[in-house]
Structure formats: structure tokens, C-alpha cells
Amino acid sequence: MSRVALIGGTGALGLVPDDVREKRRMDTPYGPPSGPVMHWMQGDTELLFLPRHGSGVTIPPHCVNYQANIWALHELEPDWVLGINAVGGIHAAATPGRLVFPDQLIDYTWGRAHSFVDAMDVPVRHVDFTLPISAALHERLATTARQLALDFMPSGVYGVTQGPRLESAAEIDRLERDGCDVVGMTAMPEAGLARELGLDYAICAVVVNFAAGRGSGGDIHAEIEASMEQGMRQVATLLPALLPH
């Protein structure tokens, strides 16, 4: 039997089937994760779903206990972990509703507990983060999305900002100069912590708005709502096809 973990961001709770009752409350040396881990079977695969922002979506990106979330999932020994993250599009091809599978990250966050190497009595260890995303899982995402003819960008650089506010137009210009294609608030320290624990981790980002200063500048919240629905429908199509058959 295989086991796959999803860390669902805003809008992703809809991926959990309505009849799922199994919820596992966990605790870790870093405190409890954002919420109980829901789990269900799909064919031969056990799916685990951890709501990144809590079951009631009340934990903002800078307050998420990323250490507890990653530790808890690591304890459940998944074969791989997929983060599902809402992002703003910077690159002209990163349009709302489209999926992006980032292969690189730039971390602009600050003040978050970003490592398990965080106490004086823990041996110092520098994990290799040249490729922050599991190459094999990234390849699987892109190949499967291509087979399903989904609307997606196969790679890109995800700039991770602190939030919870959105960025200024000048901040987005700077991120673009740095090479960022999309911007979101949650991929770090999640990806770094996953690497420290040796988890196979990749990201399926859903573009829900044009980043600040891009697009036509309409009502951003209406844009987010409409694109989230469209993007999540694509994620719901992608997920079952990703699982081992």
C-alpha cells in the first residue's frame, strides 16, 4: 500500500471527500499541527490531508506552525508530500486558474521557525537545497498534467513573501527582476523543513490572481474566488492520476 500526504492551502479543503470522518489529532515536539490529519483510501493509496491554515482557515501564513506540520506528516511516513498553494502570477504565462509546478524557490520570509536545526544541542547540518523540489515528483506532476491536457506551466520560480498582506507593485517588480514567476506566502519554510527530514516534496501551485501591478487591476478578491474554483477543479482532476496505480 502506498501513502501520500497533501498539505492543502486556501481553497483546498474541497479536495477532501465529503464522507471522510477519519481525523487524526497529533502532537509533536513543536506543538500540534495546524489541524487534525484527515485520511481516506483511494484505491490502494492512503491519502493524508493536513489543512495548512487549520480546519477553519484561521491561521495566516506567517503564523502557521510549519515545524509541527512537517514533523507530524513525517511521523506518518508518506511516500511523498504535495503542497497545494495559492499564488499570484508574475510571469505573463502565469494567468489566474492555471496550475504552476515550481522547480525553484526564493525565500523572502522572515521570523519564521525555518529549521529543525534550532537548538544548541542539535548537531549542525546543512542540507543540500540546490534543487528545493523533488525532481522525480516534479516530473510526475508535469507529465501527468500534460497527459490530462490541463492548463499549466511546467516549471517556474516561486518567490515566498511574508504576508499576510499582498505585495506592492514595486515589490513585485523586484521579485520579477530576481526571476520569480509566481508569488505566494507558504512554500517556505515548508519545503526547507521537508528537505531536512528527507521527505519527497513538491508543489502544485494554483494561480488565483495577477500579482500586484499586473493584470487589469480589478477587484482582486472577486478574481481570487473565481480563479480558485477553476484551479482547484484542475487539482481535483490531477490528483487521482498522480497516485500509483
Least distance CB 161 / ligand HPA (angstroms) = 5
Is 167 one of the binding residues for ligand HPA (CB under 6 A)? yes
Q: Which stretch binds ligand HPA (CB under 6 A): 65-73, 83-91, 104-112, 150-158?
A: 83-91
For residues 130 and 78, is the Cβ–Cβ distance under 8 A? no
**Rounded to an integer, what distance in angstroms lies between the CA atom of residue 216 and that of residue 232?**
23
For residues 73 and 173, is the Cβ–Cβ distance under 8 A? no
Please pick, from the candidates 33, 88, 102, 132, the single residue that binds ligand HPA as defined by CB under 6 A. 88
- Which secondary-structure segment (H or E) carries 223? helix 220-242
Least distance CB 184 / ligand HPA (angstroms) = 4
Choice between 2 and 58, CB closer to ligand HPA: 58
Q: SS3 of 206, please?
A: strand
Least distance CB 139 / ligand HPA (angstroms) = 25
Least distance CB 60 / ligand HPA (angstroms) = 11
**Rounded to an integer, what distance in angstroms lies between the CA atom of residue 108 and that of residue 159?**
7
**Rounded to an integer, what distance in angstroms lies between the CA atom of residue 22 and that of residue 39?**
6
Interacting residues with ligand HPA between 197 and 236 (CB under 6 A): 208-209, 211
Least distance CB 63 / ligand HPA (angstroms) = 15
Q: What is the CA 142 to chain-centroid distance, rounded? A: 16
Residue 172 φ/ψ, nearest 5 degrees:
-65, -40
Choice between 64 and 185, CB closer to ligand HPA: 185
Please pick, from the candidates 6, 70, 72, 86, the single residue that binds ligand HPA as defined by CB under 6 A. 86
Is 87 one of the binding residues for ligand HPA (CB under 6 A)? yes
Which residue in the shown chain puts its C-beta closest to ligand HPA?
Answer: 88
Choice between 67 and 85, CB closer to ligand HPA: 85
Is 185 one of the binding residues for ligand HPA (CB under 6 A)? yes
**Rounded to an integer, what distance in angstroms lies between the CA atom of residue 15 and that of residue 18?**
9
For residues 173 and 69, is the Cβ–Cβ distance under 8 A? no
Q: Is 135 exposed, middle or buried (0-12, 13-18, 19+ CB in 10 A)?
A: exposed
Closest-CA residue to 145 (of 136, 154, 137, 157): 154
Choice between 103 and 167, CB closer to ligand HPA: 167
Is 37 one of the binding residues for ligand HPA (CB under 6 A)? no
**Rounded to an integer, what distance in angstroms lies between the CA atom of residue 9 and that of residue 30?**
20
Least distance CB 235 / ligand HPA (angstroms) = 15
Is 109 one of the binding residues for ligand HPA (CB under 6 A)? no
- Give me the residues that bind ligand HPA (CB under 6 A), please: 86-88, 161, 166-167, 183-185, 208-209, 211
